[in-house]
């Protein structure tokens, strides 16, 4: 909880224990917290408890014992509920970046392309220190009531801080199915502190409607649904069309970055971006987008897939550039799962096994690395474990969230450093990190890729 939130709760408790002017102090403390730190739904019970504390004080002065007891009990229950909600959904703090450079961030828009979609960009980059600039919030908008407090979460990046002299290697970030561009801020801020420019891409109006091969319209923003065979077929179609559409978006972003590097009208990115050789980082479904972008645009020279299935042509062809897949520690399908009576279990097993078969075939053809993070589940490859300490709600595995972040940061910096700026490769028997939680498999890269890295 934030400092004034704690103060407001303590003031409420004091007002309940010693009614009178302390009850009025509880209201003042709650009001101060609202004004200074900002309201969030988790604290609403505490605000109501402060009002009941005043009511309890008034009831005592008028010698109405029944009303006072009811107000005291209600206020106590509300205060406890508010504290519980605030702890369950905290205003969290992400681990500070580990690199030597301060981090700056800017928001840009890419004008509508042939498909009519405007793209939103958040760019993180190594910046000159300037403590006078405001610190960026985690998000500008709230993704629904449950996470409506995310705009109150601070980050480590300074808004519109001046970028350090370049050119800097560029990494694009593709979020997951139903995700948003800031859902891996802990990782992308760290990359920026190590000298990378990271560009996260969003589609404010959604992807809209695509069309199947037979011409029928398909909602590209539809849900991932494996509850029946028909729903699974639709999900696979959406996945393929969505992958293709978002990969084309990333190509547009690379074009935009190249233009900014050649002559940024606003000034900050002129000569600062190495957009001709870029990496792509994708979480979950964003891993498919990252892989497909490498398939259609030769400017992408390295891909890091964080626990994502592949959809569309790239699932069959594999990834022909240096490719790193990080996988969670969840059990793979059991032998009988593909014939299970339950459609959800059956279809999940079929798609999971198909993805693993295609991934290993792609590795055998093109080379690459596969790393398992012991103790992790799917959401451990994003910021989501910080959203709540209750793993049932965050979907996280048993690994400590900060530990998982530290491991992913080290691996991402090592991987993109090697392929984008020629950092030395780790020894053959190491994965570039001192973490025993990593289990690693390697397929040799074709000779041209190794030569290009040298």
Q: How far apart are CA 101 and CA 98, in angstroms?
A: 9
134 with 70, same domain: the answer is no
Q: Is 312 left (phi over 0), alpha (psi -120 to 50) or beta?
A: left
Question: Which of 41, 60, 88 is the last residue in one of the domains?
Answer: 88
The angle formed by the CA atoms of residues 242, 235 and 211, to the nearest 5 degrees, is 50
Instruction: Return the exposure string of 219-229: e unless at least 16 CB atoms fall within 10 Å of the residue's CB, then b.
Output: ebebebebeee
Q: Write out the residue range of the structural domain in which residue 62 sits.
A: 3-88
Question: Which of 58, 88, 118 is the last residue in one of the domains?
Answer: 88
270 with 222, same domain: the answer is yes
74 with 109, same domain: the answer is no
Report helix angle 185-193 to 401-421, nearest 10: 50
186 with 308, same domain: the answer is yes
Those residues whose C-beta lies under 8 Å from the C-beta of residue 28, and which sit 6 or more positions away, are 11
Assigned domain for 93 exists = no
170 with 316, same domain: the answer is yes
pLDDT in tens, the chain (454 residues): 999 999 999 998 888 877 666 778 888 999 999 999 999 999 999 999 988 888 877 776 567 777 878 888 898 999 999 999 999 999 999 999 999 999 999 999 999 888 888 999 999 999 998 878 899 999 988 778 888 999 999 999 999 999 999 899 999 999 999 899 999 999 999 999 999 999 999 988 778 888 888 888 888 888 889 999 999 999 999 999 999 999 999 999 999 999 999 998 878 999 999 999 999 999 999 999 999 999 999 999 999 999 999 999 999 999 999 999 999 999 999 999 999 999 999 999 999 999 999 999 999 999 999 999 999 999 999 999 999 999 999 999 999 999 999 999 999 999 999 999 999 877 655 544 578 999 999 999 877 655 455 4
Per-residue DSSP letters for 247-303? HHHHHHHHHHHHHHHHH-TTSTTTT-EEEEEEEEEEETHHHHHHHHHHHH-TTEEEE
Assigned domain for 423 exists = yes
- Given a contact cutoff of 8 angstroms between Cβ atoms, the answer to whether 169 and 279 are in contact is yes
256 with 285, same domain: the answer is yes
217 with 187, same domain: the answer is yes
156 with 53, same domain: the answer is no
Q: How far apart are CA 88 and CA 100, in angstroms?
A: 33
Q: How far apart are CA 437 and CA 209, in angstroms?
A: 42
Q: How far apart are CA 63 and CA 84, in angstroms?
A: 32
Assigned domain for 95 exists = no
Prediction pTM value: 0.91
Report helix angle 44-61 to 3-17, nearest 10: 20
Assigned domain for 97 exists = no
What Cα–Cα distance (Å) separates residue 83 from each residue in 12, 47, 60, 73, 75?
12, 11, 26, 16, 12
Assigned domain for 94 exists = no
**CA nearest neighbour of 139 among 179, 171, 166, 169:** 179
Long-range contacts of residues 256-260, Cβ cutoff 8 Å, at least 24 apart: 256/110, 256/121, 257/170, 257/199
112 with 150, same domain: the answer is yes
Rg (C-alpha) for the chain, rounded Å, is 25
Question: Which of 53, 88, 123 is the last residue in one of the domains?
Answer: 88
CATH number at residue 269: 3.40.50.1820
246 with 182, same domain: the answer is yes
* Virtual torsion, Cα 240, 243, 246, 250, nearest 10 deg: -140
226 with 324, same domain: the answer is yes
Assigned domain for 96 exists = no
Assigned domain for 398 exists = yes
* DSSP H/E element including 329: none
* Overall domain count for the chain: 2
410 with 321, same domain: the answer is yes
Do strands 438-443 and 119-126 pair parallel, antiparallel, or not at all (unpaired)?
unpaired
Assigned domain for 41 exists = yes
């Amino acid at each position: 909880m934030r400092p004034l939130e704690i103060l407001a709760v303590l003031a409420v408790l004091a007002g309940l224990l010693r009614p009178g002017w302390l009850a009025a102090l509880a209201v003042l403390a709650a009001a101060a917290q609202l004004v200074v730190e900002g309201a969030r739904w988790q604290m609403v019970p505490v605000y109501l408890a402060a009002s009941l504390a005043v009511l309890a004080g008034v009831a005592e002065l008028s010698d109405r014992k029944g009303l006072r007891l009811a107000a005291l009990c209600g206020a106590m229950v509300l205060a406890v509920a508010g504290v519980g909600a605030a702890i369950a959904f905290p205003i969290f703090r992400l681990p500070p970046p580990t690199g030597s450079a301060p981090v700056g961030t800017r928001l840009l828009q890419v004008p509508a392309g042939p498909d009519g979609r405007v793209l939103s960009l958040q760019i993180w980059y190594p910046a000159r220190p300037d403590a006078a600039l405001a610190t960026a919030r985690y998000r500008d908008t709230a993704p629904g009531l449950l996470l409506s407090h995310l705009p109150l979460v601070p980050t480590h990046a300074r808004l519109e801080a001046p970028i350090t002299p370049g050119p800097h290697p560029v990494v694009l970030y593709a979020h997951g199915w139903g995700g948003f561009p800031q859902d891996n801020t802990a990782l992308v801020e760290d990359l920026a502190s190590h000298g990378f420019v990271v560009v996260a891409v969003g589609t404010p109006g959604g992807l809209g409607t695509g069309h199947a091969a037979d011409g029928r319209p398909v909602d590209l923003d539809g849900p991932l649904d494996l509850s029946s065979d028909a729903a699974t077929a639709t999900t696979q179609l959406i996945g393929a069309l969505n992958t293709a559409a978002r990969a084309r978006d990333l190509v547009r972003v690379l074009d935009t970055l190249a233009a900014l590097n050649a002559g940024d009208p606003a000034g900050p990115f002129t000569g600062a971006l190495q957009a001709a050789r870029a990496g792509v980082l994708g979480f979950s479904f964003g891993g498919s987008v990252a892989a497909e972008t490498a398939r259609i645009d030769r400017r992408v020279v390295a891909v890091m897939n964080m626990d994502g299935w592949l959809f569309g042509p790239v699932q069959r062809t594999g990834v022909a550039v240096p490719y790193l897949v990080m996988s969670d520690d969840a059990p793979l399908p059991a032998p009988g799962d593909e014939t299970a009576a339950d459609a959800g279990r059956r279809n999940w097993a079929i798609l999971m096994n198909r993805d693993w078969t295609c991934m290993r075939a792609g590795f055998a053809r093109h080379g690459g690395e596969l790393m398992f993070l012991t103790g992790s589940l799917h959401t451990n490859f994003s910021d989501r474990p910080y959203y709540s300490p209750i793993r049932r709600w965050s979907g996280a595995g048993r690994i400590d969230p900060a530990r998982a972040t530290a491991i992913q940061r080290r691996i991402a910096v090592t991987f993109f450093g090697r392929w984008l700026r020629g950092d030395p490769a780790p020894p053959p028997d190491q994965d570039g990190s001192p973490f025993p939680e990593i289990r690693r498999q390697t397929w040799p890269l074709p000779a041209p890729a190794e030569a290009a890295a040298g």
